[in-house]
Amino acid sequence: MLRSFMSARSLDADLVCTEGPGHATELARDAVAAGCLRIVAVGGDGTVNEVAQALIHTPAAMGLVPCGSGNGLALHLGLPRAIPDALELAAGTSGRVAEIDTGTVNGLVFVNAMGLGLDADVARRFNLLTRRGLPAYTRTALAAFFGRATERCQVSVGGHRETLDTLLIAVANSDQYGNNARIAPHARVDDGVLDLVAVRPVGILSACFLGARLFLGSIDRSRGVRRMRGARFLIERTAAGIIHTDGETHMAAACVEVIVKPRSLRLIVPSDCAAVSRSEERPANTFALQLP
């Protein structure tokens, strides 16, 4: 489909496929070095993350054709879900180039969200599945919940320090994990801050209500949820453990530093996209395609 699309429109483009973790970053970095000003990621949030690592603070703009299991960033931005429509946006002139924030956690880049505690455990379990999607994610989350452990964390932001007993902590750039599960309602990707959401330990009944609020976009109004906003967070745990960045898991030290990189990534969005502010920048005419 991609080759036919490129041929039918006589695009000045290359199609390259990744061969393993980290390869998309290498391919995107090579494309930037070659002067390519438009690079299209065909995949999910993990592919977006790898491509974005090479594009941050460069003139190149990213297009996105969402083909992942959650597609959190694409849903937040209102990008087309149908592949032909997403390709038309990424390769055509109907969209615009917007600048969005990214974040780092202990130096690791994330575009959509990072997390620890139950958040990271769900990501670890989910990545082991051969079949994905919302039903699989729900089953995985329930299994992780019943094996949960409470973690005491100290969170520092803007000179304020707070001790919290937590089930999970998520730091979000967009409003959601994916599949319209809005962990940080009202978050924006271009406001220069990140949204930290800490969920306190709850029982199974309260967890069901929180799950419903997650999809209704009102989880931040629960008394069992603490929300903070800031450009830098310091999260101190009792021990090292796993974290996730855009769904990919890593081991991290007990002390976790999360920092926003304001408007560091150029992204192609629909002209009428309300999730990011407007700019007068025009999209470039050449692009490359990245496949997972």
Res. 281: pLDDT tops 50: no
Structure-block tokens of residue 212: 């419903």
Per-domain residue ranges for the chain? 2-101+264-291, 108-261
- Percent of the chain surpassing pLDDT 90: 75
- Look at strands 61-66 and 255-270 and give their pairing: parallel
pLDDT digits (tens, 9 = 90+) for 210-238: 889 999 999 999 999 999 999 999 999 99
Res. 163: pLDDT tops 90: yes
Res. 36: pLDDT tops 60: yes
pLDDT at 286: 44
Which DSSP helix (H) or strand (E) runs through 41? Answer: strand 38-43
Res. 284: pLDDT tops 50: no
pLDDT digits (tens, 9 = 90+) for 109-142: 999 999 999 888 888 887 777 676 677 767 777 7
Confidence of residue 194 (pLDDT cuts 50, 70, 90): very high
pLDDT at 283: 41
- Average pLDDT on 242-265 reads 96
pLDDT at 150: 84
Mean model confidence pLDDT for the chain? 90
Helix boundaries (H) for the chain:
2-8, 23-33, 45-55, 72-77, 83-91, 118-127, 134-146, 204-216
* CATH class of the domain defined by 108-261: mainly beta
**Residue 146, Cβ density class (10 Å: 0-12 exposed, 13-18 middle, ≥19 buried):** exposed
pLDDT at 141: 75
For residues 138 and 154, give the distance between their C-alpha atoms in angstroms, rounded to a whole number.
Answer: 29
- Average pLDDT on 169-180 reads 94
Min mean pLDDT across 43-57, 128-142, 243-257, 261-275 is at 128-142
* CATH class of the domain defined by 2-101+264-291: alpha beta
Res. 33: pLDDT tops 70: yes
Res. 165: pLDDT tops 60: yes
Res. 287: pLDDT tops 50: no
